[in-house]
Amino acid sequence: MEITKERKDNYTILKINAEKLDSFLSPALKAEFVVLSKEGVNRFLVDLTDVKYCDSSGLSALLVGNRLCNETNGKFVLSNMQEMVVKLIEISQLNKILNITNDLQSADKLLA
């Protein structure tokens, strides 16, 4: 499965198990955010360890998750991003609005 989810006590981890977060995978990620949000989940940790490439549709999916969390006073955190994904987020200046951590431990502290 390209997206796995793990529920923790106070947040849900969505791990992207693919090298590309693009137009093929982003609709499924958006759907996960919407379904989980309707179930009352408003704290997400998105683990991008395996993602080496992200396009505009991938960024759009991440922004949907962030928006859903913001609307319900939740928290949205990205973690373990590869260099190319970091550059894309910085170029698009999304690093100013997204919570980004270098590792899962830092993300866990941010979500606690």
> pLDDT tens for residues 30-77?
999 999 999 999 999 999 999 999 999 999 999 999 999 999 999 999
Mean pLDDT of the chain: 96
Percentage of residues of the chain with pLDDT beyond 90: 96
Per the CB < 8 A criterion, the answer to whether 52 and 85 are in contact is yes
Phi, then psi, of 7 in degrees rounded to 5: -90, 125
Q: How far apart are CA 34 and CA 49, in angstroms?
A: 22
pTM: 0.95
Buried b (16+ CB within 10 A) or exposed e, 37-75: beeebbbbbbbbeebeebeebbbebbbbbbebbeeeebb
Give the pair of three-digit tokens for residue 77. 């955190």
Amino acid at 111: L
Percentage of residues of the chain with pLDDT beyond 70: 100
